[in-house]
Amino acid sequence: MIKAIRGTRDLLPPDTALWNFVEAAVRDVFRAYNFHEIRTPIFEETQLFARGVGEDTDIVSKEMYTWEDRSRAESEKGQSLTLRPENTAGVVRAYIEHNLQARGLNKLYYIGPQFRRERPQKGRYRQFYQIGAEVIGPPTSGSESPARDAEVLELLATLLDRLGIENWNLQLNSVGCPNDRVAYNEALRKALEPVAPKMCADCQRRAVTNPLRVFDCKVPEDQPIIEKLPRISQFLDEPCRKHFEEVQAILKSVGVEFQINDRLVRGLDYYTRTAFEFTHGALGAQNAILGGGRYDGLSESLGGPNAPGIGFAIGEDRLVLALNQNAEAVQKKPDVYIAPLGDGMNREAARLARELRRHDLVVELGDETFRLKKSFELATKAGARYILIVGENEVKADTFALKNLAAGEQVTVPRAELAGKIRS
Ligand code: HAM
């Protein structure tokens, strides 16, 4: 038997109702903040992620699904392609390609699958879904302002509250700008030099190539060493410090709680200044429900204009796991089950179903070969509110027996009044 690939999964009803509930609520919130949807391809040139996310990150160095796309014609060149492991690089690529810079501040959101070759476990998949947003524009559009950071964080708090997700925790840090990074990397290299030989092979490499990535290490034996390394907070220059202070001041003013965590550096290379994660207790080991931050130099590193930006991505799989909602409860049930009774009644039932659905009613249609008892059982199982009997006599009189399944009461209703009666 052919099965779904390890780390991928099928989303089935009634769970898909939860996913749709989440996505509908999310779209409502984005609308209130004047964000608009963007859709980018699920595969891109490998170079985009290597340059955007960073060669030394776990994502790029270990987790990407990459293949050589052979050309079909002699004249075309084959190229290295990658299933997107995240969507920020793709959005910024599109921003540059379509000159969205000319539109001023862009507030974009996306919902879609991402792919990473990680070890699958609860809350961690190889195909997972992100709900993300990016605020990006020329500096004159206010894209660099701490007001953007605070607005994005306040949006997230609102979104989680709206979905009824409680006990989330916002971890906040500033990872500084390239200025600070030079001094910080220098200090990290110095501090790592004597201890790196005792660390894992990855860390030994990172200590030389990209010392910040040492913080991504999950090896337990390395943690006491990492704990003692200098923190980025000691290296922020004056503009970065001011920016971070203002983000915090606005958050306090709007009443969004947060915790400063100066070990939070995030696993992607593009971050500058504000970096954050929201964690949630119910998620166990994979407790990061979302992450994001500012990426002021990303556009330029991809050959684009100076376009500061900030964004986030929510792990939708994890969001649904954290939801306190029952899938059955959010799944829409049929308003009415139509039970055709006897030969030739499928045609009549089909006409009625068409009429009622035009009135936006949810209609489940039975079959003329079913006995009445079976129709009642199926209607009850489907959770329909009403059952509508369509037999020869009913069709002749153009009035139908309509029974409320929960209340048990049955009425006879003329065709023209059916929709109104079912809706009431
Ligand atoms: P990220 O932290 O790599 O950031 O991913 C964001 C979220 O996606 C994580 O917090 C987690 O909830 C979810 N996630 C990541 N990997 C998996 C997985 N294997 N299975 C299930 N869920 C997963 C980014 O992707 C950045 N692009 C976010 C961003 C947008 N930064 C600025 N703009």
pLDDT for residue 79: 93
pLDDT of residue 77: 81
**What is the rounded CA–CA span in Å between residue 376 and residue 381?**
9
The span from the CA of 17 to the CA of 11, in Å, is 10
pLDDT digits (tens, 9 = 90+) for 148-189: 999 999 999 999 999 999 899 999 999 999 999 999 999 999
Q: Which residue reads 């708090």 in tokens?
A: 157
Question: What pLDDT sits at residue 72?
Answer: 77
For residue 405 the two structure tokens come to: 């399944």
Nearest-angstrom CA–CA distance, 243 and 381: 58
Only one residue has tokens 């999310």, namely: 26
Of 342, 344, 390, 343, which Cα lies nearest the Cα of 363? Answer: 390
B/e letters for 318-352, b = 16+ CB within 10 Å, e = fewer, are bbbbbbeeebeebbeebbbbbbbbeeebbebbeeb
pLDDT of residue 226: 94
Q: Please report, rounded to a whole number, the percentage of residues in the chain having pLDDT higher than 70.
A: 100
CA pair distance 424, 418, nearest whole angstrom: 10
Distance from the alpha carbon of residue 291 to the mean position of ligand 1, in angstroms: 6
Does the CB atom of residue 52 touch ligand 1 within 6 A? Answer: no
* Beta strands 106-115; 410-414: pairing state: unpaired
Task: Show the DSSP H helices in 45-87 as ranges.
Answer: 46-52, 58-62
Question: What is the maximum span of the chain, computed from C-alpha positions, in angstroms?
Answer: 94
Residue 306 predicted with pLDDT over 80 = yes
CB-based contact 211:188 (threshold 8 Å): yes
pLDDT score at 244? 98
350 pLDDT band (50/70/90 cuts)?
A: very high
pLDDT score of 339: 98
User: Is residue 170 a contact partner of residue 278, using CB atoms and an 8 Å limit?
Assistant: yes
pLDDT digits (tens, 9 = 90+) for 77-92: 889 999 999 999 999 9
Q: In the structure, what pLDDT confidence band is assigned to residue 74 with cuts at 50, 70 and 90?
A: confident
42-71 mean pLDDT: 96
Q: Cis omega before residue 414 (within 30°)? A: no
Ligand 1 neighbour 88 (Cβ under 6 A): yes
pLDDT interval class at 94 (50, 70, 90): very high
- Closest to 336 (Cα-Cα) out of 272, 382, 278, 393: 382
- The finding on whether 134 has its CB within 6 A of some atom of ligand 1 is yes
Residue 65 confidence (pLDDT) above 90: yes
Q: In what order do the strands lie in the sheet with 127-136?
A: 36-37, 106-115, 127-136, 309-315, 288-294, 272-280, 168-174, 259-260
Condensed to tens digits (0 to 9), the pLDDT of residues 121-158 reads 999 999 999 999 999 999 999 999 999 999 999 999 99
pLDDT at 285: 78
Q: Per residue in 230-271, pLDDT tens?
A: 999 999 999 999 999 999 999 999 999 999 999 999 999 999
Does residue 354 surpass a pLDDT of 90? Answer: yes
CB 39, CB 110: distance < 8 Å: yes
Provide the 8-state DSSP code for 291. Answer: E
Please tell me the distance from the alpha carbon of residue 105 to that of residue 141, in angstroms, as a whole number: 5
The crossing angle, in degrees rounded to 10, of helices 238-254 and 146-162 is 30
Indicate the top mutation candidate among 148, 265, 268 to test ligand 1's pocket, ranked by most ligand atoms within 8 A of CB. Answer: 268
d(CA 16, CA 9): 12
Contacts with 251 (C-beta within 8 Å, 6 or more apart), sequence order: 150, 153, 154, 172, 257, 258
Pocket lining: 289 vs ligand 1, CB cutoff 6 Å: yes
Mutate to test the pocket of ligand 1, among 5, 111, 283, 290 (most ligand atoms within 8 A of CB): 290
Going by their DSSP bridges, the two strands 336-340 and 386-390 should be labelled as: parallel
How much is the pLDDT for 415? Answer: 97
Per-residue pLDDT, 284: 80
Instruction: Indicate the pLDDT class of residue 390, thresholds 50, 70 and 90.
Output: very high
Look at residue 393 and tell me whether its pLDDT is greater than 90: yes
pLDDT value of residue 286: 80
| Span 3-14, pLDDT tens digits | 999 999 999 999
Nearest CA to ligand 1 atom 14: 315
Give, rounded to a whole angstrom, the gap between the first and last alpha carbons of the chain.
49
Give the distance (Å) from ligand 1 centre to CA of residue 114.
Answer: 9
Q: Which atom of ligand 1 is nearest to the CA of 311?
A: 33
Structure tokens at 2: 């052919």
List helix spans (H) across 170-326. Answer: 178-192, 201-209, 223-227, 238-254, 298-301, 316-322
- Say whether pLDDT at 282 is over 80: no
- For the chain, give me the number of helices (H) and strands (E)? 16, 16
Cα distances from 305 to residues 19, 35, 92, 95, in angstroms, run: 37, 22, 10, 10
What is the pLDDT, as a whole number, of residue 324? 80
55: tokens are 């060669």
